[in-house]
Amino acid sequence: MARTKFTTPEALIVISTDGYFDVYPSGRLLANVTPAYRGTIDLLDRDVRMGNKLTVRPDSIALRVAVASWSSEHGSAAVRGDLGRGRDGKQVVPAA
């Protein structure tokens, strides 16, 4: 499992090749901090995933664009808790 961090104005998003991503408040990621939201890869753009599997490299521009797009639309709400807990609870955001 590889994890790649993306910093956006709304949140810090960590993508896992295991089919999910974690959303944290912007800033420095501290050890043992629970994410504000855990989403599944299928919430990202169809160009970067097939189901819950990434179809692009973790360092690809396409993934960076998909994460930025998701974050600009949902990042602040995820950090505030407006989307629930994600895959660890009720997932509110519809698939792209």
Percent of the chain with pLDDT over 90: 50
CA distance 44 to 38: 12
**Average of per-residue pLDDT values in the chain:** 86
64 DSSP assignment: H
Q: Tell me the mean pLDDT in the region 14-28.
A: 88
Number of H helices, E strands in the chain: 2, 6
Strand, helix or coil at 60? Answer: coil
pLDDT given for residue 92 in this prediction: 52
pTM: predicted TM-score of the whole model, two decimal places: 0.83
Residues with Cβ within 8 Å of 68's Cβ and at least 6 positions away in sequence, in order, are 6, 8
Tokens at residue 83, please? Answer: 């989307």
Top-ranked range on mean pLDDT: pick from 16-25, 28-37, 68-77: 68-77
The residue with greater pLDDT, 43 or 90, is 43
9 DSSP assignment: S
- CB 20, CB 82: distance < 8 Å: no
Binned at pLDDT 50, 70 and 90, residue 90 comes out as low
Q: Tell me the mean pLDDT in the region 48-75.
A: 92
Q: Which amino acid is at 67?
A: V
